[in-house]
Amino acid sequence: LRAEQINTATVHLPDSVSSALPLAPAARNLYGVFPDDLRPQELEFAELLDTSPQVLWWHRNPVKKPCSVALYGWAEGVGFYPDFVVGVAERAEGNGVALSEVKGPQLQQFDKAKAGAHHVIYGRVYMAGKAGAEGNFRLLRLTGESQTLIDDGPFEVQRMRHS
C-alpha cells in the first residue's frame, strides 16, 4: 500500500559554488573544489573519493536545499540527506550514481536506520564510518529483523558498484 506513496522529484544542481574563502582544489568534485562545510571525517572521506580511480565525480549533498537529494522514508517524514552523491565507474544501478553517508562513532548507533536507507532510483545508501579518529573507513550495514548495525568490512569505492 505504501508503494503508491513513493515519488521522485528531479533536482537540479547549481551551476557553480562560491565561497568568501579560497577553496582547496579537488580533482573529481563536480565543481573542482573541496566544499568548506565538511567536518574532519567528511573531508577525509571526500579525499578518499577524490583520489579513487573508480570515482568518476562526487558532490557534497547539501542539507535541506532545493538541489538536495533526499529520502523521506522514516523519522515521521523528516528528510535524510546523504552526505555525498557519487558517480561510480561500472555501476549499473541508478544510472551509475551512488549515495553515501559518513557517520562518526558517536552517531553510528543513534542514526543506524540510515545504514538501511534505500533510494528509489539510486538504491542502497552506503554508510561509512570509523571507530575513532584513526584508522580506515569501514562499511556499516543494518542486519535484517534485529536492525543491528554491523561492520561489513573495509570501505572500498568498488563496493559501491552493487547494492
Q: How would residue 3 be classed by pLDDT, with cut points 50, 70 and 90?
A: very low
Round to whole Å and give the CA distance between 114 and 101.
8
Mean pLDDT, residues 133-156 taken together: 84
Q: What is the pLDDT of residues 78-122, one digit of tens each?
A: 778 899 999 999 999 999 999 999 987 655 555 667 777 888 889
Over 50: is that where the pLDDT of 5 sits? no
Mean pLDDT, rounded, of the chain: 85
The whole-number pLDDT of residue 27 equals 98
Output the DSSP codes for 35-94. Answer: -TT--HHHHHHHHHHHH-TTEEEEEE--SSSTT---B-SSGGG--B--SEEEEETT--GG
State the average pLDDT over residues 6-16: 74
CA Rg, the chain, in Å?
A: 16
pLDDT at 118: 83
> What does the alpha-carbon distance between residue 125 and residue 138 come to, in Å, rounded to a whole number?
14
Q: Is the pLDDT of residue 70 over 80?
A: yes
pTM (2 d.p.): 0.87
Q: What is the pLDDT of residue 1?
A: 38
pLDDT attached to residue 8 = 67
Percent of the chain with pLDDT over 70: 85
**Measuring CA to CA, how many Å separate 70 from each of 73, 81, 82, 86, 139?**
10, 5, 7, 14, 21
pLDDT tens profile 31-49: 999 999 999 999 999 999 9
